Amino acid sequence: MKYNELTVVANKDRKRKGRGIAAGQGKTAGRGTKGQGARTGKKLGVMFQGGQRALVQAVPKARGFKSLATPAQVVYLDHLNAFAGKTVDNFSLFKEGYIGTPFHTVKVILRGELTEKVTLKVQGASKSVQAAIAKAGGSFEKTPTPLKKSTKEAEKADK
């Protein structure tokens, strides 16, 4: 037999249950013998566990509020010493591996000391960080989160 000689039916006929023993699904029609599942009428709920206390009832309801906003990516102040005299933005932080993606909000928070002068251009910095940057002779500028360019825009820019 060859692959091109196979006869494949796109739409199989449905199983006709309970149409005699010879049909293969006769007599009990795949319901087994006796019991709640064999009877007609009331169907069992999805969560029914045979009269046992359902797991859904045993687990407490999740209460409270869960924010859908993505939290800011955190960069610590002492990491900025690696960018001595340079401009630090989302893309430079991403390139150096301090953040996971340049297209999310970045916030710099205080940890350690800043010994180098840097120009910080990110979405947020704590007041203590802004003071530390000013003390080191640098500056902070709040910028909007960069957006990904669509593939169509990228193609136009390449031409």
- Which 3 state secondary structure label does DSSP give 129? helix
pLDDT tens by residue, 8-63: 888 888 889 999 988 889 999 988 888 888 888 877 888 888 889 988 888 888 88
How high is the pLDDT of residue 9?
Answer: 80
Q: How many whole angstroms separate alpha carbon 124 and alpha carbon 74?
A: 10
pTM for this one? 0.56
- Which 3 state secondary structure label does DSSP give 134? helix
How high is the pLDDT of residue 139?
Answer: 93
Specify the CATH number of the domain 73-142.
3.100.10.10
How high is the pLDDT of residue 94?
Answer: 95
Residue appearing with tokens 């209460």: 63
Band the pLDDT of 75: cuts 50, 70, 90. Answer: very high
CB hemisphere CA count around 141 (13 angstroms): 10
pLDDT tens by residue, 105-153: 999 999 999 998 999 999 999 999 999 999 999 999 999 999 988 777 7
DSSP assignment of 30-64 equals: TS-SSSGGGSSSSPPPTT--TTSPPHHHHSPPP-S
pLDDT at 92 over 90: yes
